[in-house]
Amino acid sequence: MRRLHSVAWAALAGLFLAACSTPQSTPPPSATSAPLETGQAPGATATGANGAGLTIAVVPKAVSQQFWNAVKDGAEAAAKEAGATVLWKGPSLETDVNGQKGIVEDFVTQKVDAIVLAATDADALVPTIEKAEAAGVPVITIDSGVNYANVRSLVATDNQAGGQLGGEKLIELIGGEGEVGLIPFVKGAASSEAREAGFKAAVEATGGKVKLVSTLYSESSIATAAKVADDMMTANPNLKGIFAANESGTVGAANAVKAKGKAGEILVVGFDGSKEEVAALQDGSVQALVLQDPFKMGGEGVKQAILAARGEAVEKLVDTGVLVVTKDNLDSEEAKKLLGY
């Protein structure tokens, strides 16, 4: 897998390390979430494993996408290897910030040994993280950074570099000039904003040859993504390409270009590698995908959480890498590993 140790990753590290003012938290409403799932390592014993006896809560942004299922698989595999127990629970939607806050606070009340958190909002989750740490429950962040100086560790894709690579691939595919659109997912989510920034940097580097004419959010909904992609194409008849910054956005954009009879004419570059996205790549409604390594992200998050729970040093930043795939390298060993087949 291509490793990215770039200026963009340095920018993400800056987000991770930068202090911010802390707003007052208010009691969240009851979370709309999937049921709690427990993964105890089969045959784990109380001795001989560095996570033996530890309970690690893993709180994703949502439980409705294949990406987060792969994160869960990685987390449970790492827990099994260490002899720990994973509790998995997240909101149903990535936009349910208050729901996620409530889930984290419930795990703190349960006195889990550590929490692995993919924050839905870079600012709103800061008071919740502070409460957890004050209660003696260490928090490891994955996927998205938060604006909090004292977070112990961030395990993530270099999202800004990933967005820039996606932009560069789209620019290459449209011939280096023309109008393009951008579909980020949730405003305020650090990973969405970083991918957006990376894509815009790629466009700006063309010196005006490529113009970003529309930026519309999918809210991590396939239906919303399809609607905004359709709106984007209708409002911009000269549109040559779309960059969709996550799984839902990619699937929605692919559905929209197919419905409009524009597949292969308006080119789509997406993010992540769900079965639906791969199918779209194969049928020509998507031309490239920026793949993350969610299995590694979940696994490394749990490993760092176990270290933190044991009072040991953790890695401040873990870059889990990205790979750009097209039809040409879809069957490569690197791509197969990230896609899980």
- DSSP code, position 41: P
Burial class (CB in 10 A: 0-12, 13-18, 19+), 211: middle
CA distances from 11 to 18, 80, 276, 291 (A): 10, 34, 31, 20
- Percentage of the chain surpassing pLDDT 70? 85
* pTM of full prediction above 0.85: no
Sequence letter at residue 169: K
Helices of type H across the chain:
7-17, 66-82, 97-109, 126-134, 159-173, 190-204, 222-235, 247-259, 275-283, 294-309, 333-339
Please report where in the chains the tokens 């040991």 appear, as a residue: 312
Residues of the chain scoring pLDDT < 70:
1-49, 341
| Residue 64 confidence (pLDDT) | 84
CA distances from 224 to 98, 230, 265 (A): 21, 10, 22
Query: Which domains are present in the chain?
Result: 7-157+293-321 (3.40.50.2300), 159-291 (3.40.50.2300)
**CB count in 10 Å sphere of residue 105:** 18
Which is it for the CA torsion 38, 43, 44, 46, positive or negative?
positive
pLDDT tens digits along 114-170:
999 999 999 999 999 999 999 999 999 999 989 999 999 999 999 999 999 999 999
pLDDT tens digits along 272-311:
999 999 999 999 999 999 999 999 999 999 999 999 999 9
- DSSP code, position 25: P
Q: Please name the residues in contact with 128: beta carbons below 8 A apart, sequence gap of 6 or more.
A: 25, 101, 104, 105
Give dist(CA 10, CA 124) in Å, integer. Answer: 23
| Residue 36 confidence (pLDDT) | 52
What are 278's two structure tokens?
Answer: 């791969």
